[in-house]
Amino acid sequence: MKLNKNFSLLLLGQSLANIGDVLYMVSVISAIFILTGSATASSFVPFTITSSMFISSLLTPLLIGKVNLKWLMAGSQIGKTILLFILGFMLIKITASNYYFIFLLIGLIAFLDGCANPIRQTLIPHYVDRKYLIQANGIAETVSQVIQAVMWFIGSLFLIIMSAQQLVWLVGGLFVVASILLCLLESVNDKRTEPKGKLDQIKEGWLTISNTPVLRRIAWIDCFETIAGTVWIAAILLVFVNDALHVGEKWWGFINGAFFLGLILGSVYCIKYSSYIEKKLGTFIFVGSSLSFIITILFSLTTIPIIALLLSLCVGLFGQIKNIPQQSVIQTSVSKEQLSTVYTSLGAIGTGLFGIGSLVMGLLADLMGIRIVFLISGVLLAIVSIIVQKNKMLFIRNMEQ
């Protein structure tokens, strides 16, 4: 696949923004912890971000059709850049008595992020030929996962040599460059001309999902997978390492890193064998979901750290081998004009259930034991594989759209 100019600009701009997102989150968590000395206050950072992104996913359809998708993407990044510089100045004077203003700003930044994420996924089929969608999605996912795997570690190192505020200024520079790159994208044609009421605009994505059989199944899959995936958040995984494996915290880093490595390997596999995967989308989605649930259950039962490490890698690997073909199915299941509202609705499902699921799994881990929550995760993924198997003929790429 030859990368065209627009896809390259989108990939590079979003990658710089993602790097900045991780670094700014590291700096904010560090600043709040230094100010308050409270781990609970720091833990509210991801909760605030998830909640804001959920609200954004619900409201973004009001802008779609009124604002060109390219400018919606670039504008959200410009807005994030402005808010980040305000945050940088705020950190100069912030104290333990008024640190809650930080949460207001990170909530606003996350709100703009919740708008940008579904638009990025929508723009890929606008800029990439349909026969290259598997490769394009694979490349985007590979870059994203490498950034996630590497930047949390690098961000911690940055805090050794600079303050949280200085790190925010560095992120501001990355955001400025990302904004410029996204402004250079070509505008895409949005054929929406029919005026609609606000409620109709908000409902549009949900109605499209409800009326499209494969999207209806994918929405249910997302529900079960999102809840199942909450067991891999840092807090729950750390408890598993301590209570189930009885090893030190370094194994928490190893297992977490192995999971991200599995995601990267899965993306690379999809890029390399994209033409073969295109012919058997339903099969790959089924195999990926089936192996994910089997491996998750095995992970919940193991007591050997090195086995847990390998299983964690395999969960990431087969999860990604399922997810990338599934993205191709979504992107070709409806017209490009409908795709943006579909992604915002699916995004609302993901962020909403992730926030709730994280709290529920944390409570269940305390009440029933850490192994039980991983078993529950495996059962939820088993339900996903059943849904895929029963509807495998729906999981195809529509070449006519």
Instruction: Look at the domain 199-394 and name its fold.
Output: Growth Hormone; Chain: A; (1.20.1250)
CATH number for the domain whose boundaries are 5-188: 1.20.1250.20
CA angle 70-74-76, nearest 5°?
120
pLDDT, residue 341, reads 85
Cα–Cα dist 378/372, whole Å = 10
DSSP state of 163: -
Other beta carbons less than 10 A from residue 266's beta carbon:
27
DSSP for 175-239 reads: HHHHHHHHHTSPP------S---HHHHHHHHHHHHHHSHHHHHHHHHHHHHHHHHGGGSHHHHHH
Query: Could you give the 3-state DSSP secondary structure of residue 67?
Result: strand
Q: Integer distance in angstroms from the first to the last C-alpha of the chain?
A: 21
pLDDT, residue 96, reads 67
DSSP state of 4: P
b/e 119-152 (16+ beta carbons within 10 angstroms → b): bbbbbbbbbbebebbbbbbbbbbbbbbbbbbebb
Contact 268, 316 (CB under 8 A): no
Contacts of 54 (CB under 8 A, 6+ apart): 114, 348, 351, 352, 355
Cα–Cα dist 106/87, whole Å = 8
pLDDT per residue of the chain (401 residues) written in tens, 0 to 9: 556 889 999 999 999 999 998 888 878 877 877 777 765 566 677 778 888 888 888 888 877 767 788 888 899 999 999 999 998 888 877 776 777 788 888 899 989 988 887 888 888 888 888 788 888 888 888 888 888 778 877 877 787 788 888 888 999 999 999 999 999 999 887 655 555 666 777 788 888 898 989 999 999 999 999 999 988 876 688 788 888 898 876 787 788 788 888 988 998 999 889 888 888 888 999 999 999 999 999 999 999 999 999 999 999 999 999 999 998 888 888 887 788 888 888 888 888 888 788 778 888 888 888 899 999 999 999 999 999 998 888 877 654 44
pLDDT, residue 117, reads 79
Cα–Cα dist 227/381, whole Å = 9
pLDDT, residue 400, reads 46
pLDDT, residue 198, reads 65
Q: Which residues are bridge partners to 64 per DSSP?
A: 67
Report helix, strand and coil shares of the chain as percent, to nearest 5. Answer: 85, 0, 15
Contact 262, 320 (CB under 8 A): yes
Of 184, 18, 165, nearest in space to 84 by CA: 165
Cα–Cα dist 157/183, whole Å = 32
Query: Could you give the 3-state DSSP secondary structure of residue 39?
Result: helix
Which two three-digit tokens encode residue 115?
């708008």
65: left (phi over 0), alpha (psi -120 to 50) or beta: left
Which two three-digit tokens encode residue 386?
């059943």
pLDDT, residue 399, reads 47
**Phi, psi for 38 (deg, rounded to 5):** -110, 120
Contact 387, 220 (CB under 8 A): yes
pLDDT, residue 371, reads 92
pLDDT, residue 79, reads 94
**Phi, psi for 68 (deg, rounded to 5):** -55, 140
Q: For residue 274, what is the enclosing H or E element?
A: helix 274-279
Q: Give the global pTM.
A: 0.77
Q: Which residues are bridge partners to 67 per DSSP?
A: 64
Q: Do domains 5-188 and 199-394 have the same CATH topology?
A: yes
pLDDT, residue 282, reads 87
Which two three-digit tokens encode residue 203?
């409902």
Per domain, the residue ranges of the chain are 5-188, 199-394
pLDDT, residue 43, reads 61
Cα–Cα dist 137/145, whole Å = 12
HSE-up (13 A, CA, CB side) for residue 305: 16
Query: Could you give the 3-state DSSP secondary structure of residue 400?
Result: coil
